[in-house]
Homo-oligomer: A and B are copies of this chain.
Amino acid sequence: MEPVNIGLLGMGTVGGGTVTVLTRNSAEIARRAGREIRLAHAAARQYDPSISGLEQIGRIGEDAFAVVEDPEIDIVIELIGGYSPARELVLKAIQNGKHVVTANKALIALHGNEIFAAAREKGVVVAFEAAVAGGIPIIKALREGLSANHIEWIAGIINGTGNFILSEMRDKCRDFADVLAEAQALGYAEADPTFDVEGIDAAHKLTILGSLAFGIPLQFDKTFTEGISKIQAQDVAYASELGYRIKHLGIARRCGHGIEMRVHPTLIPHRRLIANVDGVMNAVLVKGDAVGPTLYYGAGAGSLPTASAVVADVVDVARALTTDADNRVPHLAFQPDELSDVPVLSMEEVETACYLRISALDQPGVMAEIAGILGAEGISIEAIKQKEPEEGETYVPLIMLTHRVLEGSMNQAIDRIEALETVKGEVMRIRMETLAG
């Protein structure tokens, strides 16, 4: 069979890994794909000249647009990242009848609907396995492996940096800022860590997973996003005492009147398998009505793991070159004219149990006052733990676990508790999930 010619845009961390994997494993990949995958043309402003396999690229230039215009290229791999010029390059490649493989979660989450519509019109494939959970083939699992199922919910640890920070905070009783600095030194966190620690990166990925699971258009702006920067070492410790771990989860759940899409720190029972996914590793738990719970675990980032997903997509697309477009796996798992308009719920409409940490004056009647406010909002309390005051401290941490409650009611209760004169500062609220059934 004819070789497939690849055009590569970007040779940073993932781009370099892609060159390495495609060249190092070229024989084995060809034994699987039934044809040679050839790196014909690459574009990068700058790159590490020691990338293994670099010498096997047909031609290396600086102009990414020259690659998407190159008539020899069958598949364009976009690994530049960011919104622009990635969007323009991908749309141009599609317009030129080329298939596209990308690892760009931000691009897909925000511009995926437009890109898939363009691809559909031209009869080409846009593959994006590497955009979610790095090397874990979670998109393939959701879109193909679980295609028999009515998906009920997904809960994923889909940001390695955030998981590394929370794992270190727990294992070593360290503070957030302290661990973040270490993660930056280790290269696990960017100099500007906002995307990771404020949950934006996870929200990009969850937006994609939610569409694949429920057959809805991509709606990044409707995904509720809360980061981990406010979590304190004491929250991790108290959660642990109560039998829970704090994980930064992306949760997509179908419920009666719509779909919940939310990224936030979450208390989960410590015996759950996903509670034991530590360090920079990712894991996605998917609950289908037929299969029950399934979990997918692996490296969520990094040069070679992400390249693993990129190259798997290339092999898939190479097979699809001769398939009639109507019979390919749809970009968003469901046929494009079969997407559903079921609403994504606002966070106020979502129900979860909560962990609350309140700095309250250590005096009689305070707890009754707080319990009264919760009761008035219809919030029932599952457990209360009052810590001993530290020497000379007049405020003590009051830890409460509530039963499931509407976010809207909890917001009102928190407002009222924070207004109490006997309470200092903000109430720390962390949502809880059992991740059962």
Which residues on A are within 8 Å of B, measured CB to CB? 1, 17, 21-22, 24-25, 28-29, 31-34, 129, 134-137, 140-141, 143-150, 215, 273, 276-277, 288-299, 302, 304-305, 307-312, 314-316, 319-324, 326-330, 333-335, 338
Contact = CB atoms under 8 A, between A and B. Distances in A.
A215 B32 CA distance: 9
Contacts of A24: 150, 289
B148 A141 contact: no
Contacts of A145: 129, 137, 140-141, 309, 312
A148 B312 contact: yes
Q: Find the residue from A24, A34, A304 having the highest chain B CB count within 10 A.
A: A34
Contacts of A144: 137, 140, 312, 315-316
Contacts of A316: 144, 147
Given A32-B143, A292-B304, A323-B327, 17 more contacts: A17-B290, A25-B289, A29-B147, A29-B148, A31-B338, A34-B326, A34-B338, A134-B291, A137-B146, A140-B144, A140-B145, A144-B316, A147-B311, A290-B304, A291-B299, A292-B298, A297-B297
Contacts of A276: 273, 276
Q: Find the residue from A145, A290, A298 having the highest chain B CB count within 10 A.
A: A290
Given A1-B326, A308-B288, A321-B327, A294 B136 contact: yes
A296 B294 contact: yes
Contacts of A22: 148
6 contacts: A31-B335, A31-B338, A136-B291, A147-B316, A291-B305, A293-B298
Contacts of A140: 137, 140-141, 144-145
A314 B315 CA distance: 22
Contacts of A136: 291, 294
A141 B314 CA distance: 15
B34 A330 contact: yes
A308 B291 contact: yes
Given A144-B312, A311-B147, A322-B323, A304 B291 contact: yes
A312 B291 CA distance: 11
Contact of A32 (B297, B326, B330): B330
Copies assembled: 2
A31 B334 contact: yes
Contacts of A28: 150, 215
Closest 9 CB pairs of A and B: A137-B145, A148-B311, A294-B298, A135-B291, A291-B308, A295-B297, A31-B338, A290-B308, A290-B304
Given A304-B291, A304-B292, A308-B291, A25 B298 contact: no
Contacts of A141: 137, 140-141, 145
B308 A150 contact: no
A32 B334 contact: yes
Given A135-B291, A304-B291, A148 B25 contact: yes
Contacts of A328: 319
Nearest to A299: B292
Given A145-B137, A298-B292, A308-B146, A327 B322 contact: yes
A314 B327 CA distance: 13
A25 B290 contact: yes
Contacts of A338: 31, 34
Contacts of A294: 135-137, 296-299
A347 B44 CA distance: 50
A290 B322 contact: no
A294 B281 CA distance: 10
A328 to B, nearest CB: 7
Contacts of A32: 143, 147, 215, 330, 333-335
Contact of A135 (B25, B290, B329): B290
Contacts of A137: 140-141, 144-146, 294
Contacts of A21: 148-149, 290
Q: Find the residue from A150, A298, A302 having the highest chain B CB count within 10 A.
A: A298
